[in-house]
Amino acid sequence: MRTRHPRRWTTCLVIATVVGSTAGCGGGSETAAGPAARKATAEPRHSAEEERAAAQAALAAYSGYLTASREASRHSDPRHPALPRFLADPLLTRVRVAIGQARTHGAIRTGTLRSDPTVTSVSLDAVPPTVEIQDCLDATGYRLVYAKDRRVVPGSGGGRHLATATATRYPDGRWLISSGAAHEDQPC
């Protein structure tokens, strides 16, 4: 199947399917200076155990997201039932759109995606509570191929790059990955 701009849709697809796409790198939040900021850091509202539990739950959601995304991409199934178990909007919609685009072009994902995530921050006082995750994704063995003949889609080669994600705790207590970005310009 030929398309007029295969590189454009495959680049978007690589980004969105691996970790969801958002342009550029997310900016960090600025910390206020002065006595109020010092007091807030001196008296944490949550125990270290609560923060560890949140970090573990967020990493489990992230791992589930990557697994569900790989499975859905392997079958070009944007409605794969595992996706909403680990993803929330706006990322859920972006991943579904990317997988749907692959399906439209007759493409599926094959191979192995390697991940090494770490938690960079836990914000249990945020509304809603969030955990920030940073990952070094290795997509060198993860390919977008045409389902019909298993030819690699031009321009879909992967590499090792930084990825970031945000896990959000929802009112029902579940941690879901709600946003993510692939920073292909930042190798790791």
* 83 vs 184: which has the higher pLDDT: 83
CA 50, CA 44: separation in Å to the nearest integer? 11
Angle at CA 143, nearest 5°, toward 115 and 151?
A: 170
- The predicted structure's pLDDT at residue 19: 40
Q: Please, which pLDDT band fits residue 43 given cuts at 50, 70 and 90?
A: low
Q: Is the peptide bond before 90 cis (omega within 30 degrees of 0)?
A: yes
Q: Are 14 and 145 within 8 A, CB to CB? A: no
Q: Please, which pLDDT band fits residue 44 given cuts at 50, 70 and 90?
A: low
- The predicted structure's pLDDT at residue 184: 87
Question: What letter would DSSP give residue 147?
Answer: T
Q: Which helix (H) or strand (E) holds 151?
A: none
Kindly report the average pLDDT of the chain as a whole number: 82
CA 40, CA 37: separation in Å to the nearest integer? 5
- The predicted structure's pLDDT at residue 130: 98
Q: Which amino acid is at 148?
A: K
Distances (CA, A) of 37 to 31, 34, 48: 8, 6, 19
Query: What tens digit of pLDDT does each residue of 104-160 get?
Result: 999 999 999 999 999 999 999 999 999 999 999 999 999 999 999 999 999 887 889
> Could you please report the per-residue DSSP string of 29-69?
PPPPPSHHHHHHHHS-SS-HHHHHHHHHHHHHHHHHHHHHH
**Cα 158 from chain centre:** 15
- Phi then psi for residue 126, to 5 deg, are -70, 160
CA 18, CA 134: separation in Å to the nearest integer? 13
Q: Using a pLDDT cut of 90, give the percent of the chain over it.
A: 70
Give the end-to-end CA distance of the chain in Å, rounded to a whole number: 34
Q: Is the pLDDT of residue 21 over 90?
A: no
